[in-house]
Chain A
């Protein structure tokens, strides 16, 4: 169990001048602890009593049919869901022991340590180099040598360095879709997050690029905690350590992936993963 000082030390972004948020004790190996999370879009409830303990350095897959709340859920983890005006939540999501919904919690801090990769690759209309350097520059890093190092390390981390090292000054739009997606992953790595959220990261990619991203996910989990939403059940089976099955806003089953795909406990999970509905 972590002591309060250790938690504060571990989280560089705690703003101690504002109202001190409550620190809740969390298991050391948890990246997120979600307790009784409910979410509404206006009158419609999209998440119902979600409880999940998402572990560090694991790949957690979120699966479920369209409209089950899986994308909504992943977007609550960096509070992106608040961009929808009618959203209302209750319950808590503990991250480094703090509820990210607390009034004193700065969303900028959260998004600095929680990176996100989207369905469509979304590089900036800039050079490959500037795409990756964008985040660090925003954080005030100007030294060319330091930026060079970050760019190379991030591109290597995203398994795309060898493909772009001679084209760093070319526009990112000239890359293939699969390369653009890995560039976006590199851009995420450049801000040194500890969690990477991936919302259908390969649904716009060809099969070879998909496998490259899947291989990358396996490598990245050694340093990062990864939460991936996917429609592709085989992908969830291939890349994840744990799988959460969402249905109509509820978590039907959350277990180790081996169990979910070989002998799930709930009939609805079995029907979904074996393609009987959804």
Chain B
């Protein structure tokens, strides 16, 4: 069939490439934030905080360009879904990156180094999260959603670790004479990672909507 809309198709593909770029940057920010936590590297923490502006700008660019394409090209059906999904996915990815920044900031407030608390569960959550982000980004890039439903189970693992680790942190409080503020920061980091997982499942839900035009809850 003759391609009548080369200009529009090119613009739409460029926009989707920007979403993939945002996803890759988000993954990098997340991985770096965890490195900040592992090494208590405050200089690296500042890098994560500074980088966040770039991701915020990219999200705004994606939204602006999508709005212009909708206004000027009046897309329908799959074209319209593709555009809406760029906007919704950009919002979720930007939120994930915000949490990565929050993790870096939380690390800068931790008072006792070496840490008084076990961060192994946090690392497990982060690894799982990055696997989820990789899966979703690959699915988006390739337009292949068959594995996206796995995100549901992967996110459940994060949720479980989160519950366990927060109980563990709070349980340690009565016996502590110093480092109670740190408990607050570590618990927050766990909560941020848990929320990040929810946003990755949202991203996955958008991909199912993109392909099937149907809504699906990956966060049950």
* Chain A residues at the B interface, C-beta cutoff of 8 Å: 233-234, 237, 261-264, 270-271, 273-277
Contact = CB atoms under 8 A, between A and B. Distances in A.
B16 to A, nearest CB: 16
Interface of B: 1-5, 8, 74-81, 213
Q: Is the interface of B mostly helix, strand, loop or mixed?
A: loop
A262 B81 CA distance: 8
Given A262-B80, A262-B213, A263-B213, A277 B4 contact: yes
Contacts, number: 37
23 contacts: A233-B76, A234-B74, A261-B76, A261-B77, A262-B76, A262-B77, A262-B213, A263-B78, A263-B81, A263-B213, A264-B77, A270-B77, A270-B78, A273-B77, A274-B5, A274-B75, A274-B78, A274-B79, A276-B4, A276-B5, A277-B1, A277-B2, A277-B4
B4 A263 contact: no
Q: Which of A233, A270, A276 has the most CB of B within 10 A?
A: A276
Nearest to A274: B79
B77 A263 contact: yes
A234 B80 CA distance: 13
- Please list the 7 inter-chain residue pairs (A to B) with the smallest Cβ-Cβ separation, ordered nearest first: A263-B213, A261-B76, A274-B79, A277-B1, A273-B76, A275-B5, A270-B77
Contacts of B3: 276
Contact of A275 (B4, B81, B213): B4
Contacts of A273: 76-77
A261 B74 CA distance: 11
Contacts of A276: 1-5
Given A233-B76, A270-B77, 16 more contacts: A261-B77, A262-B77, A262-B213, A263-B77, A263-B213, A264-B77, A270-B78, A271-B1, A273-B76, A274-B5, A274-B77, A274-B78, A275-B5, A276-B2, A276-B4, A277-B4
